[in-house]
Amino acid sequence: MGDTMRVLFDTEEYVTTLKDGGVPDNYAHAMSRGLSRAFNQGVATSEDIVNLSVRIDILDAKIDGVEKNIRTDLASQINILRTESVAQTESLRTELTSQINILRTESVAQTEVLRTESVAQTESLRTELTSQINILRTESVAQTESLRTELTAHGNGIRTELMAQIRIQKMWMMIIAGLVALTNPVIMHLYKVLGLFH
């Protein structure tokens, strides 16, 4: 900044003016001293104002340049982040897709293994049940045949026993009839007529 311009100031005249205006003496002297100090510090000239305006313009230009650089840097950083974000997203999508495909393949393989095991177990169970059924059928047929044979033998025994009893009863009847005929001539004659006694 250029040299400041000093302003000549008559403090006594200023005090007198203030007092004439009704300002108390102590206030008038205090105001005069304060104003004198302000003038003694110097007043900016028009050249100072022009220089200050130029400096302000230069500072504004620098601020604009810094702002533009910051905006450019931010835009560049945003573009870089956007590119990195897109790349990372694509990489993550590719990785997830790969993992999903691996899981799908493993799931299909495990499903096929389970299906194969299930079919094998089903066939094994079917074979085992068929074998058990055949064994039970064979045992049932054998037991049925054994029971039929046993019942047949038992029936034959009962028939033989009944026939023997019938023969014994018939024999006793014939003995009794013979004894009766021997003691009764009329019955003897009747037996001869019927051919039951010779």
Predicted TM-score (pTM) of this structure: 0.35
Residue 113 tokens read as 């293994």
Phi then psi for residue 45, to 5 deg, are -90, 175
Residues 27 and 109 in one domain: no
Residues 32 and 8 in one domain: yes
- pLDDT tens per residue, range 21-50: 888 888 888 888 887 776 666 555 567 677
**What is the predicted pLDDT for the residue at 1?**
46
If you search the block for the tokens 């311009």, which residue do you land on? Answer: 5
Strand partners, 5: 43
Residue 193 located in a structural domain = no
On the question of pLDDT at 139 being above 80, the answer is: yes
Average pLDDT over residues 130-146: 88
Strand partners, 43: 5
Instruction: Give the domain extent around 142.
Output: 45-158
**What is the predicted pLDDT for the residue at 48?**
66
Express the helix, strand and coil content of the chain in percent, nearest 5 each.
90, 0, 10
Of residues 28 and 90, more confidence is placed in: 90
Identity of the highest mean pLDDT range in 23-32, 106-115, 181-190: 106-115
**What is the predicted pLDDT for the residue at 25?**
87
Residue 183 located in a structural domain = no
Residue 194 located in a structural domain = no
Task: Report the C-alpha dihedral over residues 58, 61, 62, 65, rounded to 10 degrees.
Answer: -160
CA distance readout (Å), 22 to 17, 31, 48, 53 = 9, 13, 38, 42
Residues 154 and 70 in one domain: yes
- pLDDT tens per residue, range 78-87: 999 999 999 9
Residue 165 located in a structural domain = no
Residues 50 and 107 in one domain: yes
Residues 73 and 151 in one domain: yes
Residues 55 and 150 in one domain: yes
